[in-house]
Structure formats: structure tokens, C-alpha cells
Structure 1
Amino acid sequence: MILLLNLLLLNFNLIFEQEVKNYHDFIEKGDSCFAAENYQCAIQFYSSFDADSVKFDSEEERLKYHLSFSDALYITGEYPVALKNFELLKSIALENQDQFYQGKAQIGIAHSLWRMTDNVRSIEEILEGIQIFEKLQDTSHLIAASNILAGIFVSIKKYDDARATYEKMLEYAIQSNDSIYIASNFEYLGIVDCFQGKYRDAITNYEKSLAINEKGDNTFRLSITLGNLAEPKMELGQYQEALQLLYRAVKIQEKHQYKSVLIYTYYTLGQIHTLTQSYDSGLYYYNKSLLMMEETSETREKEKVYKLTAENYAAQGSYKKAYKYHQLHSAEKDSLIVSERTRQLEEINARYEVERKNRENEDLISQNTKKQKELTAQKDLIQLQYTIGILIIIFLVISLFLAIRLYKASQTLITANNSKDKLFGIIAHDLKGPIGNIGAMINLLQIETDENRKSKYFKYLTQSIQNISVLTNQLLSWTFSKKGDFVFNIKQIAVRTIFERTIEVFDYQLAEKDIKVVNEIDEDFAVLADENALLTIFRNLISNAIKFTRKGGEIDLEANKAGNFIEIRISDSGVGMSQTAIQKVLEGKHVVSSTGTANEHGSGLGFSIVIEFVKKMNGKIDIHSDGKSGTSVILKLRKA
């Protein structure tokens, strides 16, 4: 039989190892079991790898794993193991200075200690937990921690304190619309009612809790409420209703292995069966409750169950057995008293140790004060030397600071002068064309006799004057920063719209040279750029294209997406550029401007400004030409 079991276990392990490849899979499967309230399954997966030897992807993942594992152990009644895991979680949280998980760990530690009857340590842990969640302003976990404190009050018969705490937490739960804690706190108030003999009030509170829990999906809470509601009904003699509630609770608790609550459900069933003279059934459930206590190490109720068992045997007339369980009850009760006294002695001893250490510290402080006086004179001399040294250092630092400020000021002045020259150059370059157009049209109007042509020239003249006004406002509003350089306001700009505004400036030149502009740029294409800088770049490039394109030629505007950039291409059918000229232009070297196809003149300044502005906007520029048939300027600007 043992061999067969070993083979089955081996096969299961092999299948298990094939199915689960690493700790992520174990945790994922454990979390799935936990969510399905199959806590034994969750424990099996959570414990299937060595968490100490695993390198978790993050500390958050590590903390979450230990919390889920500890919670599963607590819910199934494995209190000593749960306590150990909650303490490990607390130490990890302290290492990471994570107060949330520290508070969660202290709730778990306090709850486990309380179940194991260690109220002193339990109170210490839960008070720290309450302080943490008050500081974090975490209402939900503040309620959970405070409810444990109230539970301890119930254990030590401070019912008024317990009730006040439960009622305050119920108010918090209602204010935050937290149905889980609304149900829980109605239930806890019912428990206090039961301890004070207010059974009808208890039933009212339990039924409020049950109505909420039956709508939810937390079978653990539901099973507890069913069992608790049975107790006051039993006390009022409503045995059949109480039994139905308890059988329903047992079915849920046994299915999910809620061992801790089964202790209470079993002995309550035993009580009802004893009261209805079904003595064997009563003893059966008392025994199951005691066995569950052995499994969980929760012995708080052992003396009570011994007493109930003795009363069952006495009711049957089995006085010998009744006497035996009465002795067990007395021994257990004495053991609890001794345990409580031991804890009190430990507290007294701890306080004594604290006082002894305080006295030792006072002696040390006295000795240190005496030595401190002896060292004061030496320190004063050393302090004087330090002060003189620091003053010298401060003087040197101030001198260095002033020198740096002077250097920066001179550099700022140089930059401002350079930028001023650039601005004047841009104004001269961009206004030269429109002003030249006005002069040419005034000359034509003086000699033109045809009224239609005069009307056309007046239209061009008006448009050129408007263009000069717009350009002047744009250029003069383009102020300098405190560093003496151009202020670039980077924003989303539609490329096609900027080109259309640029082309309007050159309507007259385009008409005079009969040059066609084909704008094939998609309206949706937008770049991240400074509007004034982009207008200056496009005016220079369009001006150059018109200048070197013969009459009847064409200028093509295209754009395409290129990764994180928009690639803009301005192509003309002009005379082209030599590779030597292209290289000099792209290197930023000064190039003497040549005359255009209609004998237009230029300053040679425009392209250097274009290159500088493109670089400032984190863009790229290139020029393609075979030196004979046209030139293409390619701009790459960041896509918006």
C-alpha cells in the first residue's frame, strides 16, 4: 500500500513538474486557486518552490506572494505556520520600507496570535497596524485592524470597548460604501450581543450581515455568519432553524477546509444535539471539534468543549466519563491561568530590564558629560582653526564664482551680438524680395497703358505690401531670450498650411517666371517645430528654388513619413548644384551667392540660417542634385 502511494506521488510530481516550469507558473496557479476559494490548492502551489532561493522580478511581487500564502494558511486554520509566514512578510516589508505590507503583516500576526490565545502580543501588533493605516489614510485596512482589536476586547470581556469600536468601524464602512465591512461589523455587533445575552438583538444584526453576504461571493464570511446566526437561535430554543443554518455552514466549511471556523460550528452542533437529547450525535461533533483544534493549534475553546462533553455524559448518566472530562476541563482552565500568569511575569521582567538599561544609560551619560567638558577646550581651538580655513575657502569660492559669472556674461554678450546679426540678416533676406517686387510693379505701372494689366499690377502691389506687413510683424515679434538667443516655441504645426502661407509671399515672382508650384503634401502631416523658424526655412528654400528655376519651370513639394520623422522634399527644375557647392553649403561654409536665371541676386546668408534652424529643432537636412537638371532639398523634422 505504501509503495503504491509512493508511485502515485511520484507520477503526480512528474506531471506536476512538466506542467509547471518556473515559480511564475506556481504563483499564477496558486493565485487562481486562491481566487476560487480553494485555499488548500493555493497552499500546495505556493509551497511548491523555495521562495528564499528565487529571484523575484520585483519586491512588489515578492511581498504579494508572501501575503497571499500567509492569508491562505490563516484561512485554513494553520495558525502556527501562518504566524511564521506573516512574520517573514513583516521583515521583508521593513527591509523595503513598505508600510502598507507591514501593516497587512501585522494584521495577520495579531489575528494568528489571538487565535492562539496570546492576547498580549496580539494587542501590541495590532496597535502598530492601526497606527500605520491611520497614517496611510487607508480606511478599509484601518477597519480590518480595529476589528481585530475589538475581538481581543471581547476575549477579555471588555464588551463595552468592543461594541464602541465595532460601531465606529461600521460608520466608517457605511461612509465608504464598503459592503464587506458593513456585513462584518453587523456580525461582530451580533457577537457582542450574544456574549451579553441580547439574543434577539444578535439575530437582527446577524441577519443584516447574512443578507449582504448572500449577495456576495465570499463563502468564508458567509459560512461564519450562518454559524453565528445559529447560536442565538439555539439559546432561544429555535433548534430546527439553528440546525439548518449549521448544516449549511458545515457543508461550505468542509468543502473549502475552513478549519478554524469548523471548530465552533462542530461544537455548536454538538450543543444542539445534546439539548435535543441526541447524545451520541452531540459527542460525535464535540470530538470533531477537539480533533480540529489539534490540527490548527487553536486551543482557546478546548476547556469549553471539555465542559460541554462532561455535561453530555452527565445527562446520560455516565458519571465516570463525565468526571473524566470535568477533570480535563479543570486542567485546561488551570493551564490557561498559568499561561496568563507566565505572560504577566514576562511583562514584569521585560519592564525591569528596560528600567535597568535606563539606569545604565544614565550612568553612561554622566560619564560622557564629564569627558565632554575635558574635550571642550581642545575642540574650541580646533574649531577656531576650522573657521579660519573655511573663511579662506569661502573667499576662494566667491572669487571663482565671480570669475565664472564674468565669463558667462561675456559669452552671453557674444551670443546676443551674433543672434542680432542673424536677425538683421533674416529681415534683410526675407524683406528683400517683397520690396523688390513693389519697386518693379511701381515701374511697370508708370509705363503700362493697358487697364487690365494695371489692375493686375495693383493687385500684386497690394498683396506685396500686405506680405511685407505680415513678415515684419513676424520677424520683429521673434524676441530673444535672456541668454541672447532666439526663443523657439516648439509645437505641432501642419506642414501643408505653412507652405501655403509661404507661397503667397512669392505670387508675383512665380507669375513673372511662369513657374508652377505642385503641393502634394498631405494635410494630416504635422511636425514639432517653431512656427517662425519654419516659415524662415521655407521662405529661404522657396526663394532659392524660384531663383534658380527657368521660366516655365516647376517646383514640387512632397512629404512622407520616415519613422519618427516627416521627410519634406522641395524639388525644382532649375540649373542644379555641383557636388562641391552642396558639400560647402551642408558644412556651413560661406558660399558666394550666384545670380538666378532671371539675373536675381542674393546675399548667400539664407542657407546657413536654414541649416542652423533645422539643427536647433533636432532635424536633418540634405541636398541632392546632378549639377544639371534641378535640385532637391530634403528636410527631416520630428513627427508630431
Structure 2
Amino acid sequence: MKTDKTDILDQPKQLGYISTAATAILIFCISIATHSFAGNIDSLNKILNGKKIADPERVTLTAQLAHAYRDANLDSMMIFANRGIALAKQIHFDQGKAACLKELGTAYSSKNLYDSTLLCYNRALHIYEQINDINGQKETVFSMANIYSRQLKYAMAIEYYEKTIAFSKKMNDQDGIAVGMANTGSIYMELGNYPESIKYYLESSKVYEQQQNVTGLLTCLTGIANVYSLLGNNVKAEEYVIKSLSLQNGKSKSHETISFYVDIGAVYTTIKNFDKGLLFFKKALHLSDSIGDSYWRNICLADIAETYYNMGNLDSSFAIYTACVKNLETVYDIDVNTVVNTGLGKILIKQGKTKEGITYLLKSFDIARENRIKDEIVENAEELSKAYEQLSTYDKALLYRKIYEVYKDSLFNEKSEKHIQQLQFDYQLEKNKTIAHNKSVRQTTIILSLIAGLISFVVIIILLFRSRQVEKMNKEKSIILANEVKQQSIKLEELNTFKDKTFSVLSHDLRGPISGFTGTMAMLDKKQITQQEFDEIRPEINKQLDALNLLLENLLGWSKNHMQGGASVSALPVNMHTVANDNIDLFENTTNKKTITIVNNIPADLNAFADRGQVDIIFRNLLNNAIKFTGTNGTITLNGKISGSNTIVSITDTGVGMTTNQMDKLFGIATEKSTYGTDGEKGIGIGLILCYEFIKANKGDLTVTSTPGAGTTFNIILPSVK
């Protein structure tokens, strides 16, 4: 693990302004490294190609070459990392394999593929544990903590920063201890746990002070100032600002000084001392201009514009935001772009140019939503709601108010994620006017279905009335008939509700994959994408089409079953081992992608007396369900046996499991039971209903046992062959 400024500050944003020292210094260091790596790449290639070297050394050099490509070419970085892994595996060089796995994980993180990143880091960590490499373990858990921090998984980030501190203590690595504590303090500040944040920052500052590490000590002091400013303790906040200013005193390098001034300016603006905040932002701007740093110039301009806005100086704010827009044409930054467009939109609305302001707010909202910048989504949604209300466009005002409320809650409650996804879906519907026709058709179908249900209900009531007139003395029969009518009415209502949900899901789940596939094929025909690019996305297309095919098969099977008044069964001896293998093969691509192992322990001679086609559908749906709710590196095991006159097959997974309440509603029609899988897979729950009905039709039973967090077992019970 490096203990320089880059690693110290690889942490989440702390304030509402454009950037903290963390993100900016990281990017600055990367820009410098890009130039230096070019020569390093050439020299490493010459060593690798110029003479015969031992295999372990070749693995080490390959890992170094992969690292050198980090800021030059990520694809080349991945190629050399994979090449090093293969060679290390061939010669059983575990340490070299772990190093190359770390480089591969770093490449994935640069592409924002965090699940793949963590998979590589976990594999590297496992190797370091086996060979008892403490330093390797320390560096790997630190990298994992940074990834969890980027994913906003703060509990996991804290856990792995604590592991970093523990390994650093074992090695007596004081810088590593200080880095882990400083980053943990930053996470606690994001969580709003200010006492813990200050505690960790203070402990980190003590270590940095002993090490005479001025840069690290400045980080801790400005962090503490940030915490006190968020607490509204202006006196304490300014006290730590003054301490850091006296310590800084021109000792840091230019880019570090810019970062420092921006952080101090942010503290002052948070405590509403806008004049001092503006002073330090302008100092940072002057310094960034003197060294020709366009990236920092954008950040400083945006902070200055936002400060002027908060001071009520709209003209100065608008002029500086406009200058920042021009700079973004050459040096683009997502955070700056969202803040600038939000600022311009708010100013225009205050100046009475509401429609023009909405254009900027929508642009910022789309960028924030695409990049999941929740605080910007909240601000833009609130401003858009107010703006549309001014224009008396109340439907859009209500939509953005709902988005604002849900995202605001979700900033500290990730359980709202499903509600956010639903609101995102509603937003897409509102934005895409072509869906209006489909919505109208769906509403017409629902109305006709309700009318049919009402007519059926009226007919039943009439028949019931006549029956009572004819059989007045038969009270028991009348009561039974009334109960049947009530149950049928409830079932009709459930079916109508289920149908509504089915149409809603189909309008999205059918249209999405088909539109995507059609668009991709059109792009291929027009040669807008190459055959190689098409081959890269082909697995994802196949996955969507397979899911679509299973959904259609289930819907057709369920519809046919209910139209015929029950499943038609043609029972014959069915080999359960063969049916299981056939369906396991169908899911090979999906299980490979999620690294799931399926073990078929069903005896080769195990048979059941049932309908072959229906048994095939039962296996397909249960396996699909197990894969859907089993995470990466999970296992699905199939077992079978004869018990009395029954054949029993169990399908056990190591997935997320279910609660008792979820299991109670599993085989009934319920609109709220649809759940997302571990890889974002969706469904409407009809597969399990179909399985249950088919097994019952074959004189069998379907049972389930499950433990949340441990996994689920489905037991298929069918008559055995006599």
C-alpha cells in the first residue's frame, strides 16, 4: 500500500461543493503519472523482449508492465495482467499470481466494474492469506475498502479500513495506520457520526505528527474543521482552519496547496462566512492559473460561482458559471458539469426565465441520475418540482416531488432502492411519449376485464337468488354456495390484480430486450458497430432473450392451464437425472457469468411417474429461481431419492434465503412478492405458481425450507414408478 497523498485521500466527498482534496489530488497525480509511465512502458517491454529471464521474474515484470499501462491504456493493462496470471498459474508462483490479480482488479475499478474488481481482490487476498504475506493482505484490504467507499457501502468500507489498520500495526507501518484512520474518519463524517469521525481524525493526526508528515496532518486538520462546520460549531471549525493555515505556510507543493485552499474555502462557506470562503477559492484559482491546471481552474470557478449565488450576487455567479461551461468543453468533469448546470438553472428561474432554467436543470438531473449522484438528484428534483409548479404543470411537479422525497430518504436508507428504481421507471415513461399508446391499450384491456368480471359476478348473484327461491329449506346448501361465490369473487379480484401487474411488467420486460436486440441488429447492419463489438455484447443479448423466452413459456403455460380449467396430464415414467441435466445445460452461460456451481447428485436411475413436459418446466423454473437468488461463487445442489411411494428431488442453493412471511405467500398470487435477484434479475413470480399447479396436477407436492442469508431448498415430490 502506498502511503502518499493519493491513497490518503481516496475517500468520498465531504461537502456540498465541487470537490474535496481527495478526488482532485487523486486526478492530478494520475495526470502526472500518465506522462511518466510512457517511458516506463518502453523500458519494461525492452527487458521482457530483450533477453531470456526466469519465469518468476517475468511474472513480476509483467505485473509491473500492467501497472504502467494503468493510465495509458486499460485494455493493455488487462491483457498483461491476464498474461501474468496465466504464467504464474503455470509455474505455481502464487505471489506473482496475486500481484497480477490485483492489477486486473485495478483495471476493472478504472472501468467502474466494481463487482469484478472485488472478485479479483478477493482472489488475491485468499492467496496472500495462504502464503502468509501480511503486506500483500494489507494492501489488498485497503484497496477493497476504497472500492466499498466508492460504492457507498460504508459499513464494509469501515470494516476493511479497520483490517488495514490491524495489518499495519502488525508491520509497525505508522503511515498505514494513519491512512486507515484518516479514511475511517472521512467515512464516519459521511455517515453523520461526527464524534467517531473526530476521534479517528485526531488519532490519525497524532501519528502523522510523530512521523512529521505535514501533508497527512493537513488532511486531518481540514477534515476536523469540516466536521465542526457540519455540526454548526463555527468557533471550533475556524480554530482548526487557523491551525492548518499556520502549518501549511507554503510548505506543500502547488497542487496540494490548491487542494488545501479549496478545502478551507469549503469550510468557511459551510459556516456561512462567504467572504473568507471566496478569498480562499480565489487564491486557489490564482494558483491553478499560475501552473496552467485547467482541471483545478474549473473546480475553483464553480466554487466561486456557487459562493456568489449564496451571497445573492446572481450576475457575478451567472457570468462565472458561463465561463466554467466554456472551460468544460476542453476539460470535462461530471461533478463540475452537474453543479454548473444546476446553478445556471436556479439563477435563470430566479430571474423569471423559468423555461430556460428548466432546460439546464433537466440536463443536470439526467447527468446526476445516469451517474447516481444522489445529492445532485435531490437538489435538481426539488428545483424542477418548484419550477413546474410555477408553470402550473402540476403532473410533472408532482413527479419530481416524488423523486425528491424518495431520493432524499435513500441518502441514509438504502432500503428505498426499489422505490427509486420504480420512480426511475415512471420518469422514463413520462419522458418517452411513444409509450402513451401502449398505456392506453393496457388500460382498455383492464377495463374490459373488469367489466367481464362484473358481468360474471352479476350472473352468479342472479343464479344464487333463484337457487334460494327454489331451495328455501336447504340452508346448508345456500351457505356453501354463498361461500363459493365469495371465494370466486376474491379469486377474480386477485387474478385481475395479478393481470394488471403482468401487463405492467410485460410492457417493460418484453419491450426492453426486444428494442435493444432490434437496435443492436440495426447498428450491425448499418456497420455502426463492428462484428467484434457485437460478439462482445452477444452474451448479454442471449441472457436477455433466454429470460424473455422463459417468461413467455411460463405465461403461456399458466394461461393455457387456467383457460382449460386445470393442467392436462399425460403421465409416463420420467428419468429425473436426465431432465435435470438437460436444464442445467440451458443455464450454462448464466452460471458461468455469476461463477455458480451446479452439482447434480440425482441418481441416474431415479424415475417418477409424471408428465415429461411439465416436469421439464418445473425443473427449469426452480433452477432459474435458484440461480437468480444465488450470489457470485455460490453453489446449487440437486439430490434425489425414493421415499415410500414417492420420488423426491431437492434443489438447494446457497442464496439469499427467505423469511417465513415470504414463504407463506410463495405459491399464491400476490402483487408485492416480486423480488430482484442478486445480479438485478427481474420477474413477476408466475414461474413458482406454474410449478406448484403442475406438481399438484401430477398428484405431487412442492415444499420449501429456507433461512435468510443461508439459502433455500425446494422439494419436488412426485409419484414413483410402480
**TM-score, structure 2 as length reference:** 0.37
**TM-score, structure 1 as length reference:** 0.41
